[in-house]
Structure 1
Amino acid sequence: MLFRKFRLQKDNKEKDDSASLPPSSSVPPSQSWTHQVFPSFRGEDVRRDFLSHIQKEFQRKGITPFNDNEIKRGESISPELVLAIRGSRIALILLSRNYASSSWCLDELAEIIKCREEFGQTVMVVFYKVDPSDIKKLTGDFGSVFRKTCAGKTNEGTRRWIQALAKVATLAGYVSNNWFVLMIFHLLFLEFPKGYEAVMIEKIATDISNKLNKSTPSRDFDELVGMGAHMERIELLLCLDSDEVRMIGIWGPSGIGKTTIARFLFNQFSDSFELSAFMENIKELMYRKPVCSDDYSAKLHLQNQFMSQIINHMDVEVPHLGVVENRLNDKKVLIVLDNVDQSMQLDAIAKETRWFGHGSRIIITTQDQQLLKAHGINHIYKVDYPSTHEACQIFCMSAVGKKFPKDEFQELALEVTNLLEKSLISIEEGWIKMHNLLELLGREIVRHEHESIREPGKRQFLVDARDICEVLTDDTYLVELNMRHNKLVKLWEGNLSLGNLKWMNLFHSKNLKELPDFSTATNLQTLILCGCSSLVELPYSIGSANNLQKLHLCRCTSLVELPASIGNLHKLQNVTLKGCSKLEVVPTNINLILDVKKYKNRENRGLCSKAEI
């Protein structure tokens, strides 16, 4: 069963307050807006400068405003113009000194306010060289112009204009006079590279662009199978009408759909909260902290990542673990903590409900029900396995983009579905993968088989983080290091003795930015760094690895230069540089023995030819 979000719209029974205006048409549904922005303005005040500049900024940001050049103007607005107003996502009103000199503009304004009240049209106001209080009280030059326009008009029409002006004057808008004062301040004390109108126009266009993005209905979850049934049950646990702070657990095995459900909830409800954050795959995020860091450092690392996301400030510094409570205890927040596997992770980000403001909701997805209960979370939603019919639909959507396969593939689809039900495989982001439960089973087998071997360094496999740390800090054991596809930014803090290390494989460690000190790695023979796309440079200490024979750097797409110390590696026999697209500096004293046939890229071929170097 597919779950789709429908918007209820009010029954649009118009009551036309002005005989001079054409009857309004029905409200268009959200998916059939005909225009992005409807600008209402008095041409003689703004067309030459302000309007032309804001139209250029609209064009630069891909915003298409309604253009009324083809409409013949008269005493009152035409039915075509009414349809344009009601078919626009956003109405932009440019109130200027002579705006009220046009009954056409005043009729547009009244219709816009009507649309705002009846179906929530977004209205943005610019007070261009006028004071909002003059608009509301009809004083100053604006009031004088308005009274002239009202001469000879009916009381009913005039009353409608007055009410519309009083309402629009109370809306928060862009006041050009305030931006002028801001410019003077910057000229006196700071540097202001643009004129005040240019800065204000850029701000208006950016805000409109963001509002258009947010008002676009999401289609991301339209094809999800069985989401409607999940939502009916989990919304009872959320209890969004309550002001209490509530933590909700979403529990189930790997690959069952916990993250998808949480993301759907976040997409549906995040706009109802002051602040929101979706912390994706916290278990994996933990791998990006330095190896062997203590629990306190790990908590600081997590809280720093969380605060950066929820306040949208990437350079935030978290000096202690009280920052979340201090900053968010008066804020209504929606937080999703995805794939939590340690209580320490909850302690770092959401230890207690009093850390957050009234009405906050914290959603935790996990495979460990006991972890939720230990944290005092009693509102737990168990994600059950889909029925055979639903499982087949899920597989077909991932495989062929349709719910049901062609006749010749029905048997295959059912066989795969059978494996899904037995938890032998899972589907993640369109890929069929070995199920996480098999991985966990393998870990348990390794632990059981090595219980009798007390020294971690003498075991064939290591799966426990503490055992790995013990081995890494004792150079007696470290001969080969195979950490392919790891998520670390840095392998470890400080320097380790690498005297016995002979082979290091860090293949496809995409987040790795810093390599360890190789000063003591005098027996290292092979170093594999292919696919380390975040690595910018090799440490100068690489020159101390005087037994290095193979250095594989292919697809290190951020690597800019090789250190001059590589010239000391006289035993180096093979270096691969294919795909190092940013590599600019190669030491002149390097002694490369390369298989030129491997390099299809002509630019890199120049780097790899010993004769040319």
Structure 2
Amino acid sequence: MFDDQEIERSATIAPSLTKAIKESRISIVILSKKYASSGWCLDELAEILECRRAMGQIVMTIFYGVEPSHVRKQIGDFGKAFNETCARKEPTEEQRQKWINALNDVGNIEGEDFLRWDNEAKMIKKIAKDVIDKLNATPSKDFDGMEGLDAHLTEMESLLDLDDDGVKMVAISGPAGIGKMTIARALHSLIRDRFQLTCFVDNRKRNYQPGLDDYGLKLRLQEQLLSNILNQNGMTVCHLGVVKERLGDKRVLIILDDVDNIRQLEALANETTWFGSGSRIVVTTENKELLQQHGINNTYHVGFPSDVEAIDILRKYAFRKRYPHDDFEVIAERITELCGKLPLALRVVGSSLRGKNVEEWEEVMQRLETVLDRDIEDVLRVGYESLDENDQSLFLHIAVFFNYKDGDLVKAISADCDHLEVKRGLQILANRSLIDLSTNGKRIVVHNLLQQMARQAIHKQEPGKRQVLVNADEICGVLENETGTGVVSGISFDISRINEVSIGKKAFKKMPNLRFLSVYKSRADGNDSG
């Protein structure tokens, strides 16, 4: 805290106060109706906003009995106090404009509005928590050392042109598994401090809801976007103009990951006019045609890594350092070639090779060489096959039933098995790069290529030994003929092509270990509801 009460008042703010502002990590501006009656306060504010612009200082706002729009436009009681100060202080036109610019900027910073709180103590408690959270935040190290990432980020920063005050939509395109999400997340971490509001919206296809028409779907998507970016749960959107109403005067960064349908863009970012000056919308997708339909012309296409970068990716996940001896290097070059230099495949195969000797590397190489046309799903299967039976089963269940799920997944899937064993299995799957596990273990993500591989692995199992059933015709047969067994623990039933199914009275009695049942209807556009 810096206490300025002992500073002697003068025409300009004291050097010690200017120094204190520059050395602060956070400035909290409390704007009241009489705030602008002090020339000192206005000078302080201009200095604070300059530090925010030049050094990325965090500025928090509290509107204490005054409307943000009154601050921005210098109207009402706030404007009256400002005009009186200008008449009394007689600032130069340059100084007066500096104050006006500072008030406009600070009025645009999302903050706490005292008039919306029924309890001031609760507001103060929330502000204190926000300050603690910001002070505890450290720059992300999650992406340090990733091969080729710096070059990708440099290209994206050039494309975004963050110094331009216009609103831009840009895209990251490329095949599945090339690293689009990684680039987008690293970009979000790198530039988020330059925006008033930011959010990373992952995998929009997960948010389709059953029974919604096109209009209802768009309303639902907007509710989720606004809840995310404004950090307000349970928001209700009653018409499609709400995004523009709430974000039209805000400098925002929105990253829409894995977009695969034009309606998602129409719902979430239909026009650049929806967002405030300097906003940036980043879209990642495999579908270039979708970008053309939406008029997004600024696109960064992610190419395959160079030979050197690809080998470095494999080496990083297999050894975390350079090769122990030259025998590995020759085999690594061949394995990299067989993986098609796809980063996801290099991660999975490299992770599966960790701790193995040269002979075991050669065995993996030989298996990859015999894969028909080296289909990428079969390449990824090598990592899956390196697991023991229990971990394979855990992976299949996660890929089919629990991808992108929030909440305590471990408790959900360990209801009748060893809790510690499941936690160990999750860590093994994360170590093998088959799942991405959040820091607190509450969110699990399986790449869509690995999901496809999981279904392929299930299909190759003997029918009577499948723990998870995913084929609709097979499920119909099991339910109608009551041929289920105690082996079955999960059913994922897509009824989109099923007119009707007659379920035998004892169909489920023969599956006493059935724990997971998902009935859904896939959509023609590839998205699911259920």
Question: Given the two structures, how large is their TM-score scaled by the length of structure 1?
Answer: 0.45
Rounded to whole Å, the distance in 2 between the matches of 1:342 and 1:218 is: 31
User: Which amino acid in 2 is paired with 1:116?
Assistant: A
Contact 1:113 1:168 in 2 (8 A): no
Gap runs ≥5 in structure 2? 49-59, 67-113, 354-367, 379-398, 406-463, 471-478, 492-502, 518-530
**2:228 corresponds to 1:300:** no
**Structure 1 residue 379 displacement after superposition:** 0.6
Mapping of residues 513-592 of structure 1, within 5 Å: 526=484, 530=489, 545-553=505-513
Decide which of 344, 354, 370 is 2:289's aligned counterpart. Answer: 370
Conserved? CA contact 1:300–1:348, under 8 Å: yes
Residues 245 and 356 in structure 1, CA contact (< 8 A), matched pair in contact too: yes
- The answer on 1:211 being equivalent to 2:134 is yes
Q: Secondary structure, in 3 states, of the residue corresponding to 1:243?
A: coil
* 1:255 aligns to 2:174 (yes or no): no
Q: CA deviation at 1:531?
A: 6.9
**Alpha carbons of structure 1 residues 224 and 271: separation in structure 2 relative to 1, 3 Å:** same
Of 221-230 and 295-304, deviating more is: 295-304
Decide whether the 8 Å contact of 2:21 with 2:27 is kept in 1: no
Amino acid at match of 2:510: K
Alignment of 1:189-588 (within 5 A): 202-203=125-126, 205-214=128-137, 216-283=138-205, 285-286=206-207, 289-290=209-210, 294-402=213-321, 404-407=322-325, 408-421=327-340, 423=342, 426-427=345-346, 438=375, 484-485=400-401, 507=468, 526=484, 530=489, 545-553=505-513
* 2:2 and 2:20 in contact (8 A); partners too: no
Which residue does the alignment assign to 2:362?
A: none
SS in 1 for 2:308: helix
Relative distance call for 1:224 and 1:302 in structure 2 (3 A) is same
**What is the deviation of 1:350?**
1.2
For each residue in 1:418-475, what CA deviation from the matched residue of structure 2 results, as whole angstroms up to 9, or x when unmatched?
123355962568867999x95899xxxxxxxxxxxxxxxxxxxxxxxxxxxxxxxxxx
Instruction: Measure the CA separation in 2 of the matches of 1:167 and 1:349.
Output: 38
Give the structure 2 partner of residue 68 of structure 1. Answer: none
On the 8 A contact 1:425/1:432 being kept in 2, the answer is no
Deviation at 1:322, TM superposition (A): 3.1
Residue in 1 that maps onto 2:2: 93
Report the counterpart of residue 512 of structure 1 in structure 2: none
Structure 1, unpaired ranges of 5+: 1-91, 104-108, 127-131, 138-162, 179-184, 442-482, 490-502, 510-520, 533-542, 558-613
Ranked by relative contact order (alpha carbons within 8 Å, sequence separation 6 or more), the top structure is 2
Q: What do residues 23-69 of structure 1 show as CA deviations (whole Å, max 9, x unaligned)?
A: xxxxxxxxxxxxxxxxxxxxxxxxxxxxxxxxxxxxxxxxxxxxxxx
Judge conservation of contact 1:136–1:170 (CA < 8 Å) in 2: no
SS, match of residue 511 in structure 2:
strand
Could you say if the C-alpha distance between residues 259 and 432 of structure 1 is closer, same or farther in structure 2, counting changes exceeding 3 Å?
farther
AA matched with 2:330: E
Distance 2:61 2:344 in 1: 55
Task: Name the % identity.
Answer: 36
Distance, in Å, in 2 between the alignment partners of 1:546 and 1:554 is 13
Letter in 2 for 1:122: I
Give the structure 2 partner of residue 480 of structure 1: none
Report the alpha carbon displacement of residue 544 of structure 1 after superposing the two structures with TM. Answer: 9.0
Partner of 1:517: none
Q: Distance in 2 between the 1:337 and 1:170 partners?
A: 35
- Which secondary structure does the structure 2 equivalent of 1:207 belong to? helix
Equivalence for 2:437:
none
Residue by residue over 1:510-543, the C-alpha shift from the partner in whole angstroms, topping out at 9 and shown as x without a partner, is xxxxxxxxxxx886664988479xxxxxxxxxx9
Matches within 5 A, 1:26-37: none
Give, in whole Å, the separation in 1 of the partners of 2:29 and 2:221: 41
| Cα contact 1:255–1:428 (8 A) shared by 2 | no
Answering whether residue 35 of structure 2 is matched by residue 116 of structure 1, we say: no
Letter of the 1:406 counterpart? P
> 1:484·1:508 contact (CA, 8 Å) conserved in 2?
no
Contact 2:310 2:343 in 1 (8 A): no
Distance 1:524 1:303, change over 3 A: farther
Deviation at 1:362, TM superposition (A): 0.8
Q: Secondary structure of 1:548's partner?
A: coil
